[in-house]
């Protein structure tokens, strides 16, 4: 049973070590909003989001005051919009506009679900939605988009990979006067999960209840402080055990907040996602945890091993604390959003190749990485294919969120401000992958897919 006593010891973590509930995210099914007339469909969507999420932000603020726990973001995720676009046959940008309007109305900071799931191929609405992504993200402020192009069960849809490379470039071109912000709101997945509360990749999977609340908890500073207080010669298994115990406490706090929010709002509780999601603030960095373990700088030799241990210990601690752990749960490595990784990328210790290796053992993938503005679409597609292959073969979620910085070259700097942070433009290989990308077709599912 969850009691307030279970979280009293986290007060110091909150006050001194940047512990917070990073988000409470309300997932809303829009399947009953489908209509052959897209305008009627949009009316239904606006009404349902506003009705279901009307009290989400006030509830989050009330819980902050009650427990003294910061709840940084209040968000909404919806059914993949490609499903509705297929039913209406209309312009999917209309859906993005109404999502943005509803998000502003209820006061959330992001709304996710401008999404297509095409790992097995394109259905009605998928191509139209993907083609609409650049315009939709350029015209809206709060809408986030994701596309799942591969899975362990289905393999990799290389036609979708090619299209998404072009889409990423178009997003940067259309938002170049706003720091290419479009791509900060776009994620390309392999093995996307249906209950992820974190943006930009959140969407409400069709297997979920009509409406539910999920919580995402984050505490890189807490984990770093625990390791810092250990002896320098503490064995790695003892370090892992300390991380696991800390993750247990943090997960209990997140479950308490998430369940109470769901009860107040009269909806189902979904999951608690214990992900070490960093911010640009000093003391809130995953990279600094790895350095506290014993690396001189994140990205040097040993980084992948340290990250694997960290990710595993976080998951084990969370699973012991709650029967509702889900989402991505582990360690995130978004470069521009992590103060330590920004520093390591600037010195050149943390490279695109090292980040790719790290994604084999962390929770997401190549995240918030700034690349030269003249990077060809085929190269971006090849980066997506590489990352999808890691996810497919390892039966894990991987993702790509890269930002071609229009007008900037390697060594330049792109600054978003706020939680999105800033970062240097990293080196990308100039040798072409165009011939491979033009082949299209499918990379078949691996042997690991045959588990039945």
Q: Read out DSSP for 226-258?
A: HHHTS-TT--HHHHHHHHHHHHHHHHHHHHHHH
Same domain, 234 and 185: no
CA distance 243 to 217: 15
Q: Which of 85-99, 138-152, 159-173, 318-332 has the lowest mean pLDDT?
A: 318-332
Tokens of 110: 């992001």
Asked if the model's pLDDT at residue 7 lies above 70, the reply is: no
Tokens of 253: 């706090």
- According to DSSP, the β-strands at 155-157 and 442-443 are antiparallel
Same domain, 109 and 26: yes
How long, in residues, is the chain? 452
Same domain, 103 and 233: no
Higher-confidence position of 338 and 384: 384
- pLDDT (tens digit per residue) in 84-122: 998 888 899 999 999 999 999 999 999 999 999 999 999
Q: Which of 15-29, 138-152, 308-322 has the lowest mean pLDDT?
A: 15-29
Q: Which H or E element spans position 271? A: strand 268-276
At 422 the pLDDT is 86
At 14 the pLDDT is 54
Same domain, 141 and 235: no
Q: Is residue 265 part of a domain?
A: no
At 11 the pLDDT is 55
- 40: Cβ contacts below 8 Å, ≥ 6 apart: none
At 12 the pLDDT is 52
Q: Is residue 207 part of a domain?
A: no
Residues 298 and 341 sit within 8 Å (Cβ to Cβ):
yes
Residues 111 and 142 sit within 8 Å (Cβ to Cβ):
yes
Rg (CA), the chain: 21
CATH number assigned to the domain comprising residue 423: 3.20.70.20
Give the DSSP letter of residue 24: E
Residues 46 and 95 sit within 8 Å (Cβ to Cβ):
no
For residue 118, is the peptide bond before it cis, meaning its omega torsion is within 30 degrees of 0? no
Asked if the model's pLDDT at residue 15 lies above 70, the reply is: no
Question: Helices 38-53 and 93-106, interaxial angle, to 10°?
Answer: 20
Q: Which of 184, 28, 205, 197 lies closest to 106, judged by CA?
A: 28
Tokens of 432: 């072409």
Q: Is residue 197 part of a domain?
A: no
Same domain, 231 and 295: yes
Same domain, 135 and 226: no
pLDDT-based confidence at residue 71 (cuts at 50, 70, 90): confident
Q: Is residue 263 part of a domain?
A: no
Asked if the model's pLDDT at residue 46 lies above 80, the reply is: yes
CA distance 147 to 237: 38
At 252 the pLDDT is 80
pLDDT-based confidence at residue 18 (cuts at 50, 70, 90): low
Q: Is residue 148 part of a domain?
A: yes
- How much is the average pLDDT of 248-260? 84
Q: Which of 150, 121, 115, 131 lies closest to 385, judged by CA?
A: 150
Asked if the model's pLDDT at residue 53 lies above 80, the reply is: yes
Q: Which of 218, 437, 190 lies closest to 338, judged by CA?
A: 218
Asked if the model's pLDDT at residue 317 lies above 90, the reply is: no
Domain count, the chain: 2
Q: Is residue 118 part of a domain?
A: yes
Same domain, 174 and 306: no
CA distance 123 to 147: 13
Torsion, CA 99, CA 203, CA 63, CA 336, rounded to 10: -90
At 8 the pLDDT is 53
Q: What percent of the chain has pLDDT over 90?
A: 66
Same domain, 169 and 224: no
At 284 the pLDDT is 79
Q: Is residue 267 part of a domain?
A: no
pTM value > 0.85: yes
Q: Which domain does 298 fall in, by range? A: 217-251+273-449
Residues 261 and 63 sit within 8 Å (Cβ to Cβ):
yes
Q: Is residue 257 part of a domain?
A: no
Same domain, 172 and 234: no
Asked if the model's pLDDT at residue 378 lies above 90, the reply is: yes
Q: Which of 215-229, 365-379, 383-397 has the lowest mean pLDDT?
A: 215-229
- How much is the average pLDDT of 151-175? 96
Residue 325: strand, helix, or coil: strand
Same domain, 241 and 384: yes
- How much is the average pLDDT of 415-438? 90
Residues 272 and 258 sit within 8 Å (Cβ to Cβ):
yes
- 234: Cβ contacts below 8 Å, ≥ 6 apart: none
Chain centroid to Cα 242, Å, comes to 26
- Ranked by mean pLDDT, the top range of 17-31, 140-154, 408-422 is 140-154
Same domain, 318 and 444: yes
Rounded to the nearest integer, the mean pLDDT of the chain is: 90
Higher-confidence position of 69 and 167: 167
Q: CB-hemisphere CA count at 13 Å for 88?
A: 27
At 278 the pLDDT is 82
Same domain, 170 and 289: no
Residues 397 and 326 sit within 8 Å (Cβ to Cβ):
no
Phi/psi for 130 (5° steps) reads -60, -40
At 451 the pLDDT is 73
At 1 the pLDDT is 46
CA distance 426 to 447: 34
- pLDDT (tens digit per residue) in 166-216: 999 999 999 999 999 999 999 999 999 998 888 888 999 988 899 999 988
Residue for token pair 């039913």: 87
Asked if the model's pLDDT at residue 4 lies above 70, the reply is: no
- How much is the average pLDDT of 252-273? 89
Q: Which of 269, 248, 245, 243 lies closest to 257, judged by CA?
A: 269
């Amino acid at each position: 049973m969850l009691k307030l006593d279970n979280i009293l010891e986290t007060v110091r973590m909150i006050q001194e070590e940047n512990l917070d509930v990073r988000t409470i995210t309300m997932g809303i099914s829009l399947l009953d909003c489908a209509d052959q007339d897209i305008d009627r469909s949009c009316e239904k969507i606006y009404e349902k989001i506003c009705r279901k999420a009307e009290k989400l932000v006030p509830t989050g603020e009330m819980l902050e005051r009650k427990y003294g726990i910061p709840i940084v973001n209040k968000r909404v995720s919806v059914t993949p919009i490609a499903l509705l676009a297929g039913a209406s046959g209309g312009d999917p940008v209309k859906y993005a506009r109404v999502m943005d309007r509803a998000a502003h109305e209820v006061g959330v900071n992001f709304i996710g679900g401008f999404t297509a799931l095409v790992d097995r191929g394109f259905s009605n609405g998928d191509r139209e939605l993907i083609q609409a992504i650049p315009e939709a993200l350029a015209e809206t402020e709060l809408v986030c988009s994701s596309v799942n192009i591969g899975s362990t069960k289905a393999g990799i849809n290389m036609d979708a990979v090619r299209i998404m490379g072009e889409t990423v470039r178009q997003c940067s071109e259309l938002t170049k006067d706003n720091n290419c912000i479009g791509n900060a709101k776009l994620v390309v997945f392999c093995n996307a999960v249906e209950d992820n509360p974190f943006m930009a990749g959140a969407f409400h999977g069709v297997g979920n209840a009509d409406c539910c609340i999920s919580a995402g908890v984050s505490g890189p500073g807490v984990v770093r402080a625990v390791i810092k207080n250990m002896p320098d010669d503490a064995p790695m298994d003892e370090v892992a055990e300390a991380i696991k115990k800390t993750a247990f406490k943090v997960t209990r706090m997140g479950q308490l907040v998430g369940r109470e929010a769901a009860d107040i709002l009269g909806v189902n509780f979904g999951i608690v996602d214990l992900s070490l999601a960093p911010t640009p603030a000093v003391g809130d960095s995953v990279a600094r945890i790895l350095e506290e373990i014993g690396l001189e700088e994140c990205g040097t030799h040993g980084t992948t091993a340290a990250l694997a241990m960290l990710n595993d210990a976080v998951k084990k601690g969370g699973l012991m604390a709650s029967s509702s752990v889900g989402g991505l749960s582990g360690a995130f490595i978004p470069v521009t959003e992590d103060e330590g990784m920004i520093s390591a990328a600037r010195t050149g210790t943390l490279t695109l190749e090292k980040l790719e290796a790290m994604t084999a053992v962390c929770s997401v993938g190549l995240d918030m990485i700034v690349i030269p503005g003249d990077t060809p679409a085929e190269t971006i597609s090849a980066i997506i294919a590489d990352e999808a292959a890691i996810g497919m073969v390892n039966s894990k979620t991987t993702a790509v969120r890269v930002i071609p910085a229009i007008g900037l070259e390697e060594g330049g700097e792109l600054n978003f401000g706020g939680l999105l942070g800033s970062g240097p433009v990293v080196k990308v290989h100039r040798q072409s992958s165009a011939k491979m990308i033009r082949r299209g077709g499918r990379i078949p599912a691996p042997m690991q897919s045959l588990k039945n």
